[in-house]
Structures are given as structure tokens and as C-alpha cells.
Amino acid sequence: MNLKTWEEIMSDHPLRIFSGSAHPALAQEIADLLNVPVGKSITRRLPDSEIHVQIEEVVRGQDVFFIQPCCSPVNDNLMELLLYVDAFRRASAHIINVVIPYFPYARQDRMAKGREAISARVVANLLEAMGASRVIFIDIHNAAIQGFFNIPVDPLSSIPVLGSYFKDPRFKDAAIVSPDVGRAGMAGKYAEFTNLPLVVMHKRRSSFTETKTTHVVGDIAGRRPILIDDIIAGGSVLKQLPALYDAGATGKAYLSITHPVLLPTAIEILDKDDNIERLVTSNTIPIPPEKMHPKITVLSVAPLLADIINRIYRGISISEKLVLS
């Protein structure tokens, strides 16, 4: 019996990169780094608002990585993703790896008041039901969501990308600030990566959209704050800055936030608050021109994702790259 070499196995199941309509620029950047073309597919939005997808190449027996962050319009992008997974399965793709840099409904991960849907679990069930083989995401709001899946899940961190920006002598007197206890683990990894002290804010939620900072734990006095978070949407995290300055923070604040949802209220605060020097974010979500504020710096996660895709395809361990605690 002649056993195939790894190279022969890979030639039987070639690596393919495909993209939905949510962020083709990111998919193209990943494909360029891997030296493979982006596969041909087409998404049509029909007059009655239905979505139709079609793969325009043979994918039988191939290892597919489909890139689709589920940003706004969330439901359209999620539905497009599900339809493509079904199309790849029906076209007999060997493996269907779904790369969702920004995972939808991640903040709806439990029942807070009763008689509510656990929407993140619904998304997990749908992806499995359609035939996804693996799911890859970056800085999901609650790491426990990976337990909603019965297929392999690779939770990645943006810290090697965003944190590198702050490994600079000009930030030697700064401090990494967690906006709440829930982000303290993420902030702790930032602090370790940048070799900066850690400060944790405690906030109390007064409504579904409003929070209030009650106290600050750690020594922020005389230090420039670097406030970290996974998502900036309406800008509630920006409203916590005054509490840091009340506790003795100095200098203009930096923000290091992975997913730039950037609702109009966040842009307004960025524009008006002179204490904010810069928002350092990633391209997990495309930022339209009308939201590209002068205070925003965007760093690419494409090298991170390209490395992970290459490792998965070649059967190389990725444990050191995962967020496991």
C-alpha cells in the first residue's frame, strides 16, 4: 500500500479563498499574502430583497476558506454567509472553513431578563446546520460562545496586531485600561504584551444601552490611558474617559478597539472630545469613507488571518495563536 505524501494530499485538496460581499478587500489582502487568487462567486440582491449566491468555479474536493465579517447590514451579511456555506456543501467542497472576523450577535450570548433568545447560539446552530466545518473569529465579545459549537472553533486575538502599535517608547508612561471587569482578561494580556501597568474600571449598566462608571482600580495617576475594548459601537466606552481623568490620568487618551462598528454617536464623541488623541482599530470591519475620522488609525488583521489559514491548511498547530483563557 502506497501512502500519499502531505504534498500529494494538499494537491488533492487545494486551498481556496472565497469572499462574500461584506469585505472583499480583506479577502483579497489575505489571498495576496497566501499567493492564491480569490475564487469567483457572485451575490445578487433581488428586487424583493432576497439574496441569491452562486459559486462560479469548481470547488469539489477543495479546502475552502470563506471570508465574511457579519457587520452592518448584519442580517443580510449573515444570510449571505449561510447561503454560501450551503452552496459550498452542495458543490462537494472537501472542507468549509468559515472566517468571521466580526461575529454577529455576540453580545446576545445569554438571557439577561428571561424570555429572550440566546441569539449567538442561534447563529452557531445555523452555521453547523448549513455545513460549516470550522469557524474562525477575532476577539469575540464572550469567549464562552465557542462552547456553543460542536465543530472546531479557533478564537483569535488582535493583540499581536493592535498591541504592537503601543510597544513604543512614547507610551512608556502609559497604562492599559479595561473599561469593565468583563474585559479585564483581555486587558491583562495587553498589559503583558506591552509591559505596561493594568487599570480596571468598574461600571454598572443602567439600561440596555447606558452604563455608569462607579470606580477605578489601579494606579492611573500621572499616566496616559490606553483604553482597550473589543467593540466600539455607540461610543459608551468613550464616555468613561472623564472617570480616568478624575482619578489622575494625564495626557490625551488612546483607544485600542478591535471592531469599529462606529455608530454616528461614536463619531460625534471622537470629533468633540479633545482628550482623545487616537482610536487604533483593525479592519475586521470595513470603515466607509464617511466614518474615517482623522483620529482613526486602521491596522490590518490580514497577516494574522493568512498565517492561521496557512497553518490550518498545512496541519500546523495554532494553539499558541488562540485565546484560550
Query: With 0-12 CB in 10 A as exposed, 13-18 as middle and 19+ as buried, what is 115?
Result: exposed
DSSP 47: T
Nearest of 319, 283, 315, 323 to residue 302 by alpha carbon: 283
DSSP 4: P
Active-site residue identified among 40, 167, 189, 203: 203
Measured CA angle at 243 (ends 242, 249), to 5 deg: 80
Helix, coil or strand: residue 318: coil
CA distance 202 to 179: 7
> Do β-strands 211-217 and 198-205 pair in parallel, antiparallel, or remain unpaired?
antiparallel
Beta bridge partners of 300: none
272 part of the active site: no
CA distance 144 to 122: 14
Q: Which residues contact 153 (CB under 8 A, 6 or more apart)?
A: 134, 135, 136, 137, 146
Alpha helices in the chain (DSSP H): 6-12, 24-34, 74-90, 119-130, 159-162, 184-194, 241-246, 264-272, 302-314
Measured CA angle at 106 (ends 72, 101), to 5 deg: 60
Catalytic residues: 203
